[in-house]
Amino acid sequence: MIFQCADLERALRTAELMPDARRHAERCEQCREQLFQWNEISRVAPQLHEDWESDTLWPRIREALSAEPVRHQRPRTWRWALAIAAMVTLAVALLMPPRAANLGGPELLSDGALREVQQAEAAYARSIDKLAAVAQPGMEQSGSPLAAAYREKLVLLDSAIADLKKNVEENRYNAYLRTELASLYGEKQKTLREWMDYAKSK
């Protein structure tokens, strides 16, 4: 390869071109200087590590930690609640033959009621999506453990909602499944609101 000055930047990115760059720099003063400075930056960088005596820092931290109220972690009941709700939903969906939905009964919706429920559900889901669009970017960017917990909860909720929606599609007249779906949407809305309240208070 005939190495030219314009190739230097590419050589700095890819180690394979470096031997060619060095050979070229032996003859080219400008590239030699640039290459030297590039290496100098890496050589001097570790010297920028800043260390200083701070005798009072750990005692200060220890004092601050000792002053923290002891927090007992709230049991993550929502996880159990979700798991149980999902299992119950699945069991109901599996035990109830899909055609039974058209037979009528106390748990089943009429065609008119179904249309109204579907419209209300769609509006509710849209409003929660809008809420998520506002709340989630901040949550995604935050590296805090609390944000991670909320993210995890929302992933679980979304997954449970998706499963339940699938079941609802197969049992469209089943009022029980629709109630379960509404309660999951409600939980998602509550979670997003909690995060937004926390983010505002920060």
Span of 99-107, 141-149, 158-166, 179-187 interacting with other proteins by CB under 8 A = 141-149
Instruction: Tell me whether residue 22 or residue 172 sits nearer to other proteins (CB atom).
Output: 22
Span of 7-15, 84-92, 101-109, 180-188 interacting with other proteins by CB under 8 A = 7-15
Span of 6-14, 100-108, 174-182, 184-192 interacting with other proteins by CB under 8 A = 6-14
Confirm or reject binding of residue 73 to other proteins (CB under 8 A). Answer: yes
Alpha-carbon distance of 155 to 149, in angstroms, equals 10
Query: From the list 1, 15, 29, 52, which residue makes contact with other proteins (rule: CB under 8 A)?
Result: 52
Alpha-carbon distance of 78 to 155, in angstroms, equals 13
Alpha-carbon distance of 200 to 202, in angstroms, equals 5
Confirm or reject binding of residue 106 to other proteins (CB under 8 A). Answer: no
Residue count, binding to other proteins (CB under 8 A): 40
Confirm or reject binding of residue 75 to other proteins (CB under 8 A). Answer: no
Confirm or reject binding of residue 49 to other proteins (CB under 8 A). Answer: yes
Span of 54-62, 99-107, 163-171, 181-189 interacting with other proteins by CB under 8 A = 54-62
Contact 181, 170 (CB under 8 A): no
Beta carbon of residue 16, minimum distance to other proteins (angstroms, whole number): 15
Show Cβ contacts of residue 89 under 8 Å, excluding neighbours closer than 6 positions: 163, 164, 167, 177, 180
Query: From the list 41, 94, 95, 103, which residue makes contact with other proteins (rule: CB under 8 A)?
Result: 41
Residues in contact with other proteins by CB under 8 A are 9, 12-13, 34, 37-38, 40-42, 44-55, 57-58, 60-62, 64-66, 68, 70-71, 73, 142-146, 148-149
